[in-house]
Structure 1
């Protein structure tokens, strides 16, 4: 089984668990006579990344990841 297959199986099991816990919570609340609203899903904070290139001035004092500084050679 590949890693992707394992992740898909785990995700399916997790979704089943969340659904089962929700059903259990609703049945317990019904037995107690408490009506509860389903919990609100938290909004996902999505960040839009522009297609325009970044300002090269932001990277003048940084190292290239894994390659070292611009003015030095790797060992």
Structure 2
């Protein structure tokens, strides 16, 4: 299935969920906390699907398989000692000061 087919299948499922929640509201009433939460969650799912459709249709969007990043090579040569000139040695203190 294509991404568009999958998104359409989700849309159909959410439509069915909405119809089912409508039936429950008619049977149980709209005032119950559980029914209100179910309605809210189903609306959030609709919003999430709309966001997903927008991001899936955006040109230049990379698929996860294409998002592999390049490996960074770290040289084996030692670092320049001048980089550590003013740094304290961990646990030993500064080279120019004496411990109390």
TM-score range relative to shorter protein: 0.3 to 0.5
| TM-score, normalised relative to structure 1 | 0.39
More helix by share: 2
Q: Which has the higher contact order (CA 8 A, sep 6+)?
A: 2
Which has more radius of gyration?
Answer: 2
